[in-house]
Structure 1
Amino acid sequence: MAITQSNIYESLTEQTAIALAIKLRIFEEGKVLYCKEIGDGNLNLVFHIYDQDEEKSIIIKQALPYAKVVGKSMPLTLQRATIESNALKLQASIVPDLVPKVYYTDESLAITIMEDLSHLTIVRSGLIDNFDFPILSKHIGEFIAKTLYHTSDYALHPFKKKELVRQFSNPELCKITEDLVFTDPFFNSESNDFEEELLPDAVEIWQDFKLKLEVAKLKKSFLTEAEALLHGDLHTGSIFADIETTKVIDPEFSFYGPIGFDIGQFFANLLFQYITSKEESKKEKILSYIENTWHVFSATFSELWKESLDSYTKVEGYLEYILDKSFKDSLGFTGCELIRRTIGLSHVKDLDGIEHYDERIQAKRRTLDIGSFLIKERKQFSSIDEVIFSLKTFSKERS
């Protein structure tokens, strides 16, 4: 269905979400519909609607005009809903099997109606529960490579690329990332949130000027390098999967930025499981996910590179330069994500869900150490194998 304008915004309830589904004739006439509000994020309402026979179901996602995690004191533009639906549609034109189908959008209501993925598992929850996702790394490697390449200058006419840069200008959500990922955790900011026992560790980060210089460089990259259309928030809570299927959701932070950012976000959210797991076999599996994601990404991106009409892509060494820069950037962005999810505003269940308090504190200290290490030492690495080896060595030295 096409985008429509309802003119008046109001937050949906379970009852009005059902009424909307009936009005749009999404379900067979006469069917009794059920609805449950299932959103657990910081920015949106999410409704699961299904019929009495459970033959059909949909998801309605609605952007709120403020951040739920803070309240109405932190207003947000509703335009992010349009950015999300447009990003999903663009991604679907590139990797249709790796994103949910979009059925309907309404800019004024800030809603997107899309495919129900409840038959799949949220990857973060699955990893915590020791599920195996044997093709996750292959799919995410392909998703990152294809969506980034096909929205870059290497694949697009310059006019089309710049048109997309304008279309996906996302200043308010980018500001959230700029503050919460690249700034606040590295200073004594009011938004920071951590246990009292971690104060000495946080102070050490705030006083580490070598670390802060490197984070400043990474933030500059995030602010200024419009290389490709990013997902912008590619963590394991934004991916549904099972042993055969992978679906990437929630690209409301989508904007044009540095290629390494999405890769680093995904790496970091896998590393939480590497850091918190007590089982050696699981730690090895997580590292294999990281390793294979990079190999699939680099191989897929390199193959797509051959299609480019950009004259410089035929220059020997240019592809290697792009991949090496993206690789080193991704390690830095990985470190920033690790640190911000530990002492910044928005945490992850991987760490906060550790029941034993002392174990949780130790896991968070390891996370901060690894994050700082990757940020400061990222330029010393030339391959993912070196990173994997260093992570193992680093973990043994800190254990």
Structure 2
Amino acid sequence: MSAILNIPAATSGYRVLSQADIIAEIAQLPEAAAILGGKPSEWTIRDVADGYINAVFIVDGPEGGVCAKQGLPYVRYHGESWPLDEKRSFFEASYMRRLEPIVGQLAPKLLHFDPVLQFIVMEKLSPHVVLRGALIEGQTFPKVAADIGRYVAAASFHTSDLGVPFERKFEDIATFSGNVSLLRISVDLIFTDPYVEVWRNRFVPELAGWAKAFREDTELKSAVAIRRNAFLSNRQALLHGDLHSGSVMVTEDETRVIDGEFSTFGPIGFDLGAFIANLVINWYAQGAYVRDKAEREAHQRYLLDQIVTLWETFRAEFLRLWDTHPDTGGDGYPASHFADAAGRARLATIRHDYVQAIFEDLVAFAAIKMIRRVLSYAQVADFLVIEDTVRRAEVQAATLAFARTVLKDPARFADLGAFLDAIPHFERTTLDPALAR
């Protein structure tokens, strides 16, 4: 039986839930009610939404807590002036169901999904904290990079042509191809808006020169267009679609990936690049924080080490899965075609080239995501906490300069060492883009 939910044909009966409605809905769910304990009158509820899109609440009872989330018929931050299909919660729930047997404890447990109300109830993560805020404060977590590497390796292998028969993959694609409202947001905000003038774009006035330079840079826009097309046409594996430091919750010992509403099929390197982009963003932002120099430099070294750990863990785990699951039914490279010594040698080369192509995608998508987080909508707290807009613009310009070079000179970044070595070279980038080459 498929773990994917059936797409709701209609949402008649949908309504935006009040806090009292949420308590009443959860009271009817035996598993969630048992986690909370006590009576509904003893439960408390608080709004914890810190993103732009959904309504999110934590409900606590005498024994424990749960997280409740509802897809709204608009972008929460803007209200009805920006309509949005509320059925996006269906895709988040489907993503959680699809990956539950694959990633296990690296994601919260889905307790309930109501397809009419577009209402999700899931495990409350405590004492976990959002990774982005912790990185801004200079905290370090020893396991997060390796955990994310394993998460992406498992999720991508087991939803690709390497890990499942094409019939199962096509079933998955048919489900997630319906997530068009959030895919449109991804295409616009990531790949299009930073290179045009549009009302959604957000950047400090000091970066106006950079924004203009990017709008006029045909070579840069061509590099982005190639990746936009790959994002839309390469249905390599199931993606989280918005894997950044704000969608990861951590403790010293645990990592959990949340917020899969942007899930879609695309290039494996997209999720990896998105997460690494946020580590690089935090690296540059650290340069403007009021912090002891030695402490700041130690944290920046930690961030670069995390990028290495993430990639090396992903690569090793992905290849291990491919090597140890030759008979999963994946139709991409049937094991029977590579059974003799010559075949095994050739398959080893194929695997190396396959993973290298993922790395090349990773680097390009990371650069594109960096640009998006500086010039497009939905800025990140890493930069927003820098109140001095000139200083903020300086570290953002460094981020843009690095990203531009990555996209326009890809041959220079054929391995991770070259990528990491280049980051500090842009730390003192000028606010004049014409001089930052």
Map of 1:104-183 to 2, 5 A cutoff? 104-169=112-177, 170-183=179-192
Offset of residue 20 of structure 1: 1.3
Matched to 1:93, the amino acid is P
Does the residue aligned with 2:259 lie in a helix, a strand or coil? Answer: coil
Offset of residue 205 of structure 1: 0.8
Equivalent residue for 2:292?
Answer: none
Offset of residue 210 of structure 1: 0.9
Task: Encode CA deviations 1:30-66: one digit per residue, 9 max, x unaligned.
Answer: 3511111111211110111111x3x210011000011
2:302 maps to which of 265, 285, 288: 285
1:395 matched to 2:427? The reply is: yes
Q: Distance in 1 between matches of 2:223 and 2:272?
A: 18
Offset of residue 3 of structure 1: 7.6
Map of 1:38-117 to 2, 5 A cutoff? 38-51=48-61, 53=62, 55-117=63-125
| TM score, norm. by length of structure 2 | 0.87
Does the residue aligned with 1:182 lie in a helix, a strand or coil? Answer: helix
Equivalent residue for 1:304?
Answer: 321
Q: Distance in 2 between matches of 1:392 and 1:191?
A: 30
Equivalent residue for 2:408?
Answer: 376
Give the conservation status (yes or no) of the 8 Å contact 2:106–2:147.
yes
Select between 85-94 and 291-300 the one with higher mean Cα deviation: 85-94
Matched to 1:297, the amino acid is F
Q: Distance in 2 between matches of 1:171 and 1:325?
A: 27
Give the conservation status (yes or no) of the 8 Å contact 2:412–2:418.
no
Does the residue aligned with 1:183 lie in a helix, a strand or coil? Answer: helix
Offset of residue 397 of structure 1: 7.2
Equivalent residue for 1:294?
Answer: 311
Q: Identity across aligned pairs (percent)? A: 31
Q: Distance in 2 between matches of 1:11 and 1:244?
A: 36
Give the conservation status (yes or no) of the 8 Å contact 2:100–2:109.
yes
Equivalent residue for 2:28?
Answer: 23
Does the residue aligned with 1:341 lie in a helix, a strand or coil? Answer: helix
Task: Encode CA deviations 1:165-222: one digit per residue, 9 max, x unaligned.
Answer: 0011121111110000000101222321112211111111111111111000000000
Q: Distance in 2 between matches of 1:201 and 1:260?
A: 27
Matched to 2:84, the amino acid is L
Select between 318-327 and 303-312 the one with higher mean Cα deviation: 303-312
Structure 2: state its 5+ residue gaps: 288-295, 328-332, 339-343, 431-435
Q: Distance in 2 between matches of 1:331 and 1:199?
A: 26
Give the conservation status (yes or no) of the 8 Å contact 2:57–2:69.
yes
Question: RMSD of aligned C-alpha atoms?
Answer: 2.0
2:271 maps to which of 259, 262, 274: 262
Q: Distance in 2 between matches of 1:352 and 1:302?
A: 39
Equivalent residue for 1:10?
Answer: 15
Equivalent residue for 1:206?
Answer: 215
Matched to 1:137, the amino acid is A
Does the residue aligned with 2:427 lie in a helix, a strand or coil? Answer: helix
Does the residue aligned with 1:212 lie in a helix, a strand or coil? Answer: helix
Q: Distance in 2 between matches of 1:174 and 1:74?
A: 15
Distance change in 2, residues 1:367/1:35 (3 Å): same
Offset of residue 383 of structure 1: 1.8
Offset of residue 135 of structure 1: 0.5
Equivalent residue for 2:47?
Answer: 37
Q: Distance in 2 between matches of 1:197 and 1:155?
A: 48
Equivalent residue for 1:366?
Answer: 398
Q: Distance in 2 between matches of 1:103 and 1:294?
A: 32
Give the conservation status (yes or no) of the 8 Å contact 2:268–2:358.
yes
Q: Distance in 1 between matches of 2:374 and 2:401?
A: 11
Offset of residue 7 of structure 1: 4.9
Give the conservation status (yes or no) of the 8 Å contact 1:329–1:378.
no
Distance change in 2, residues 1:43/1:397 (3 Å): closer
